[in-house]
Structure 1
Amino acid sequence: MKVKNIQKVTGPMPIGDPFIMGAYHYDKYPEGNGKFGPKASLDGKNLGNDFDSNAEWRMYHGKEIPGFPFHPHRGFEIITIAEEGYADHFDSKGSKGRYGEGDVQLMSAGSGVLHGEMFPLIHEDKENPLRLFQIWLNLPASSKMTEPQYKMLWHEKIPVTKVGDEAKVKVILGEYNGVKSIEALPYSWAKDPNHHVGVALIDLAPNASYTLNAVSDTMNRFLFFYDGKGVVSIEDYSLQPNYIADLEGGEEIIIKNGSERAKLLILEGEPINEPVAAYGPFVMNTKEELDQSFAEYRRTQFGGWPWGHEEIDVVHPKDAGRFASYNFGKIIDNPNL
């Protein structure tokens, strides 16, 4: 059976090894208030823990600005796809930046990192929609305690492959239609092509089709229909918006779109096949390793938070533009370089 399961996404995506978690955020934020927060009442918002799935927009853990103030991670890689809107990044290793409008951030937490990711509402004269994916890709035991890494994939440089005028595939990790992604992080599970890790956004025109090649019987493959109003057919099954399909990795899969434009996320890869012990921000192999991780974080704070503003939501100036800097500004990266 080519389609193993289809289910609605109402929270974290039901995905599996080598992926730990997949989150999809779509928030129709209003105009900004000049301080990067929403020009709207926050009455009724559960500030500091706002995840109301029925609301048009959420503050998440932010109290003045939407987003996730600094918090720790260890033992896995984070792939953040900012398709709409902006994210402001800071971390304990001296990296910071602003990215969005199609950019992708790769960050390996490795042995431990503090990072913050806020969603500044830059526009004060129009709405600030945010559409963002955050995918947790596990690290094997041999790589969990490696040095944290951070890398930007600017949307201007992310490879795109097209099938006529019908299908466009943005290749974030892996290879599609003979087009390879930008190189993965040094210790990523995606670094070895034999692991068949693929992350891509598929944009289908009305009535278009796209074929996922047969790759490996042991590979896990997931297809999420995240934007569109119609129905996408996968073999003899129908996939509606906000539903995800668990597909066979060793079978050719033909995706046929209906009468409306459709956007889909593909996640695939060989399983790591190691024990997983996960709690909150840490993903290790055993409970003992988890306990050690929490103890070490309490003792060292993974180097501490060097950016100040510990009691508020820290962001960049309005005119900062899209950029990344590393090692406390000694290395600068932006889309024009």
Structure 2
Amino acid sequence: MGLFGRSNNSGPVIKEQAAALHWDTDDPFLFASHHLDNYPKGNERQAPPYEEVKRKDQGNDYHKLFGYRMYTGRVTPGFQLHAHWGYETVTLVSKGYVDHFDSLGNQGRYGYGDMQWITAGSRYHHCEMYPLVFQDRPNPQLVTQIMINLPLKDKNTPVEITTVWKEDIATVDGDGWKATLLAGSLDGVTAKVPHCTSWAADPAHHVRIMKLDMEPGAVFTLAPSEAGTRNLYITETGAKVAGKEYPAGTRLKLKPDAEVLIEMLSEPSEVWILEGDPIGEKQCQWGPVVLANNAEVRKANNEVREKELENWNWEYVNQKQPLGTGRFYKAADGTESRPKEPETGE
């Protein structure tokens, strides 16, 4: 698409770039992914029909044949056992469910507006499966996952995991729009970052992770920020930003100190804002590991391969909850939490 590249005007947009399934980001963020899949009715295994799955790229399916991807899943969609080391993941499930099992003994099911925040300073293994819970209707899935780096002083610290239910996530309502705050503030409302180790936990770092749900014709004014970096992501439908129309699947790198007008066009959609001060450290990344240098990363990746199953006490690497399970989180010590709001299956 010819529109993408560095902006030539003097407005608030610095750079225009395609951003569909995977999003480029700026420090302190590492990466983001936006999974929108139209899964069919589920079967007794909470999976798509075998006749469809067998035609897909088993274990590495990132193509939308039949309207959905299997990712690394072979029976149920999602991400089989894999590692994280040296960074955080913030996952918001707008539609559908995610089944979570990990090497620490934690498990759960969250979805339809819930968030999971994992601060994996040290080696951590888990699976994230997308169960097709409805057998009488399609199972649309929309999951956005944002990866935030950790400074070197916080690498190899204990892993922290928190599931935040939809009713506990900070929101702000406007005229035709609703802001969901996973980190940062808007109009006097501040999101609670669950882990003090997070770069986002210190207000001095100006981290904001915000999802805007906008109705057709809605207008939102993004005020100037003190953050060092600011990016905006247009998702399912087009939008007008700073007076210019952009298609779905667009990333705009913005000047943080400029006011930006966001106008939704003829269809509703999500718009994401990622802001923050850079960590600004030289680090090294390969595969699921982000540490100080190449030697540390090589050693860590070897450990990941050698010890992947060492603390995996679940029956399968693609473990999922039984059919009919509601939303819950159960820690390794047996403590359990459930949302106050009833299941909606929206």
Asked if Structure 1 and Structure 2 have the same fold, meaning a TM-score greater than 0.5 normalized by the shorter chain, the answer is yes
Alignment of 1:13-162 (within 5 A): 13-39=23-49, 40-53=51-64, 56-162=67-173
User: 1:170 maps to which residue?
Assistant: 180
User: 1:190 maps to which residue?
Assistant: 200
Task: Give the secondary-structure state (helix, strand or coil) at the position aligned to 2:303.
Answer: helix
User: 1:222 maps to which residue?
Assistant: 231
Aligned-partner Cα distance in 2 for 1:80–1:221: 19
Q: Which moved more, 1:286-295 or 1:232-241?
A: 232-241
Aligned-partner Cα distance in 2 for 1:33–1:112: 35
Residues 108-130 of structure 1 show CA distances to partners (whole Å, capped at 9, x for unaligned) of 11111110000011111100111
Shift of the 245–55 alpha-carbon distance from structure 1 to 2, 3 Å rule, reads: farther
Aligned-partner Cα distance in 2 for 1:99–1:11: 21
Task: Give the secondary-structure state (helix, strand or coil) at the position aligned to 2:53.
Answer: coil
Aligned-partner Cα distance in 2 for 1:259–1:38: 32
> Which runs of at least 4 in structure 1 moved beyond 6 Å after TM superposition?
none
Q: Is 1:257 aligned to 2:264, yes or no? A: yes
The question of whether the paired residues in 1 share the 8 Å contact of 2:113 and 2:165 is answered with: yes
Task: Give the secondary-structure state (helix, strand or coil) at the position aligned to 1:288.
Answer: helix
Amino acid at match of 1:128: N
TM-score (structure 2 length as normaliser): 0.91
Task: Give the secondary-structure state (helix, strand or coil) at the position aligned to 2:117.
Answer: strand
Q: 2:297 aligns with which of 284, 290, 293?
A: 290
Q: Is 1:267 aligned to 2:271, yes or no? A: no
Q: 1:320 aligns with which of 317, 325, 330?
A: 325
C-alpha displacement of 1:15: 1.2
Q: 2:220 aligns with which of 210, 216, 219?
A: 210
Task: Give the secondary-structure state (helix, strand or coil) at the position aligned to 2:80.
Answer: strand
Aligned-partner Cα distance in 2 for 1:10–1:83: 16
- Tell me the matched-pair count: 330
User: 2:18 maps to which residue?
Assistant: 8
Residues 270-293 of structure 1 show CA distances to partners (whole Å, capped at 9, x for unaligned) of 111111311111111211110121
Aligned-partner Cα distance in 2 for 1:53–1:110: 33
Residues 38-61 of structure 1 show CA distances to partners (whole Å, capped at 9, x for unaligned) of 035223200111011565101111
Structure 2: gaps of 5 or more residues = 1-10, 342-346
Aligned-partner Cα distance in 2 for 1:183–1:283: 21
User: 1:333 maps to which residue?
Assistant: 337
Residues 44-90 of structure 1 show CA distances to partners (whole Å, capped at 9, x for unaligned) of 20011101156510111111111111111100000111110000001
Aligned-partner Cα distance in 1 for 2:188–2:65: 41
Aligned-partner Cα distance in 2 for 1:78–1:5: 25
Shift of the 302–187 alpha-carbon distance from structure 1 to 2, 3 Å rule, reads: farther
Shift of the 35–249 alpha-carbon distance from structure 1 to 2, 3 Å rule, reads: same
Aligned-partner Cα distance in 2 for 1:53–1:222: 26
C-alpha displacement of 1:326: 1.0
TM-score (structure 1 length as normaliser): 0.93
Aligned-partner Cα distance in 2 for 1:238–1:144: 41
Residues 275-316 of structure 1 show CA distances to partners (whole Å, capped at 9, x for unaligned) of 131111111121111012123334444852111224xx2101
The question of whether the paired residues in 1 share the 8 Å contact of 2:21 and 2:35 is answered with: no
Task: Give the secondary-structure state (helix, strand or coil) at the position aligned to 1:318.
Answer: coil
Q: 1:279 aligns with which of 280, 283, 286?
A: 286
The question of whether the paired residues in 1 share the 8 Å contact of 2:53 and 2:75 is answered with: no
C-alpha displacement of 1:212: 1.5
Q: 1:237 aligns with which of 232, 244, 255?
A: 244
Identity %: 33
Aligned-partner Cα distance in 2 for 1:10–1:106: 22
